[in-house]
Amino acid sequence: MPSVQIPLGQAVGSYLAADVVSPIALPPFRQSSMDGYAIVHSDVTEAGTSLHLAGESKAGQADLPVVSAGMAVRIFTGAPVPDGATAVVMQENTSLADGSVQIHEFPVTEGKNVRRAGQQIAQGAVALRAGTLLSPGAVGFLKGMNVNEVSVHAKPRIGLLVTGDELLKAGEALEPGKIYESNSAMLQAALAQAGITEVSISYASDDFDATVAALGALLEAYDVVLASGGISVGDYDFVGKALEALGAETIFYKVRQKPGKPLLFGKKGEKLIFALPGNPASSLVCYYEYVLPALKRIMGSKEPFLRSVKLPLRHAYRFDGERDEFLKARVEAGEVVSLDGQESFVIGSFAVANAIIYLPVVQNRVEAGELVEVHLLPL
């Protein structure tokens, strides 16, 4: 995706398109990390050393006393450390009497409780690299160095097509042979979780011409097209044929996996196309394992895939060993649990899942306690 310049406050969830260089040192001056007294550390020759109190330094103060031998300056957290001072003694280790400060700490090391100028970052240093995901912490970091705009990769505009004569929209009366359509809401929520909010939802009946018209309109208007349903081998599955008629290039179709075998990825020019299975669990597995990494990649991410860890499986699991399997799962107390309801039409188990177990085709049984590959779902 092309780069765009946007206000920092609008950049959370975007990926940097260019390095950000700090225009200032952070902190820009020597800074106290404690409430206490700024002193010359070598003045403290024993516990109980007494020093003359010669002023104070508070946060935001510019006119500061100079600390010389035998002096102490009252100082507060975040305040500039006066010239001449080499350490700050926290106030809990001091006492006041007759205009003097008694230091009850020995020895006091040079630089104690003093944040160096540029300790967090030097002026001119790279603060964040291109490809960094801008989190709230990143926004705070950049704002502290007076960065107010950033160059990020634009987020893709998504055209989502839902097909199926059996589907009812929200609010419609339930009819025999019909079900309520949920994939559009599910996928829109998943896209929003990834920071993608420009999503247009269209519907097409199980008709070739209607599918061609709907997909053609989306390919004209959007960066990425997602189709839900109509991609298997049934008599009324027209998405693949419609894409062919529109001149789209199929990169791959069908994956040896369960669920989500009838998955298509294609392109038309620079437009990306994913045709997902209509069964909701299959659709969401394919979104997390294929669509989301592709979207994150074009948005500039250098780590587009779900985070993967190895964890022991709580209960043994047997499968056919003919296809890779993705299992809806929960990570609990350092192990992973395969959930009930693994069928491709069952979305309820995804409602409580926080992970997907990946089981490669090379095996057909996993024993309890055996380490398995676990893909952690976005929070």
* CATH code assigned at 110: 2.170.190.11
Same domain, 167 and 257: yes
Residue 303 in domain: no
Q: Which backbone phi and psi does 323 adopt, to 5 degrees?
A: -140, 150
CATH of the domain at 355: 2.40.340.10
Q: How far is CA 343 from CA 39, 168, 253, 288, in A?
A: 70, 22, 21, 17
Instruction: Check whether residue 291 and residue 221 sit in a common domain.
Output: yes
Residues 277, 313, single domain; the answer is: no
Q: CA-to-CA distance for 84 and 69, rounded, in angstroms?
A: 9
Say whether both 101 and 145 belong to one domain: no
Q: For residue 75, what pLDDT is reported?
A: 96
Domain stops at, among 253, 280, 298: 298
Which CATH number does the domain housing residue 14 bear? 3.90.105.10
What pLDDT is stored for residue 294 in this prediction? 98
Q: Which amino acid is at 193?
A: Q
Q: Are residues 173 and 216 in the same domain?
A: yes
- For the beta carbon of residue 24, count every other beta carbon within 10 angstroms: 16
Q: Are residues 180 and 279 in the same domain?
A: yes
> 148 is in which domain, residue-wise?
3-27+119-153
DSSP string, 321-348: SSSEEEEEEEEETTEEEEPS--STT--T
| Residue 39 CB-half CA count within 13 A | 33
User: Are residues 197 and 334 part of one domain?
Assistant: no
| Local confidence pLDDT in tens for the 379 residues of the chain | 899 999 999 999 999 999 999 999 999 999 999 999 999 999 999 999 999 999 989 888 888 899 999 999 999 999 999 999 999 999 999 999 888 999 999 999 999 999 999 999 999 999 999 999 999 999 999 999 999 999 999 999 999 999 988 888 888 888 888 888 899 999 999 999 999 999 999 999 989 999 999 999 999 999 999 999 888 888 878 999 999 999 999 999 999 999 999 999 999 999 999 999 999 999 999 999 999 999 999 999 999 999 999 999 999 998 877 899 999 999 999 999 999 998 888 899 999 999 999 999 877 789 999 999 999 999 8
Domain check: are 42 and 15 in the same one? no
The pLDDT assigned to 353 comes to: 96
- Strand, coil or helix: 189: helix
Q: Are 202 and 162 in contact (CB under 8 A)?
A: yes
Residue 42 lies in a domain: yes
Q: Are 246 and 216 in contact (CB under 8 A)?
A: yes
Sign for the CA dihedral angle at 325, 330, 336, 342 comes to negative
Predicted confidence at residue 167, as pLDDT, reads: 84
Which 3 state secondary structure label does DSSP give 60?
A: coil
Bridge partners of residue 89, in order along the sequence: 37
Residues 174 and 267 grouped into a single domain: yes
Answer yes or no: is 37 within a domain. yes
Number of domains in the chain: 4
Tell whether 131 and 23 lie within a shared domain. Answer: yes
Specify whether 210 is located in the same domain as 339: no
Q: What pLDDT is stored for residue 126 in this prediction?
A: 98
125 and 10 in a single domain? The answer is yes
